[in-house]
Amino acid sequence: MKEFNSVDDILDFAIINEQQAVDFYKALALRTNNEDMRQTFEKFAVEEIGHKAKLTKIKEEKIFTAGKEVIQDLKLSDYVDYVKPSDDMSYQDALILAMKREKSYPV
């Protein structure tokens, strides 16, 4: 289990994970044979870049206020099997892969 000693440690961990997600989705975009899936993976990568930018801004500006919006986790990824990345993934498989990946970071 990862040990954090400061808020910066937590943010650094999150920023690294977001960059890994960017790299993962970009690699899938290059690997797929399907143009629609390539665009889907590129969109996923752009979303992760946005997450990384938000975390970096929080770290740089030392703004640590949490939003008031409560987001309910429907735990959908708990009820689907892991999907192995492949060159010919369906959109549904891509969504399952993304859900599992978002949930998979051990802390």
**Other residues' Cβ atoms within 10 Å of the Cβ of residue 26:** 17
**C-alpha separations of 57 from 14, 95, 98, 100 in Å:** 12, 28, 24, 26
Q: Structure tokens of 5? A: 């000693």
Which amino acid, residue 104? S
Whether pTM > 0.85 for this model: the answer is no
Per-residue pLDDT of the chain (107 residues; tens, 9 = 90+): 688 999 999 999 999 999 999 999 999 999 999 999 999 999 999 999 999 999 999 999 998 777 778 877 778 788 888 889 888 899 999 999 988 888 766 65
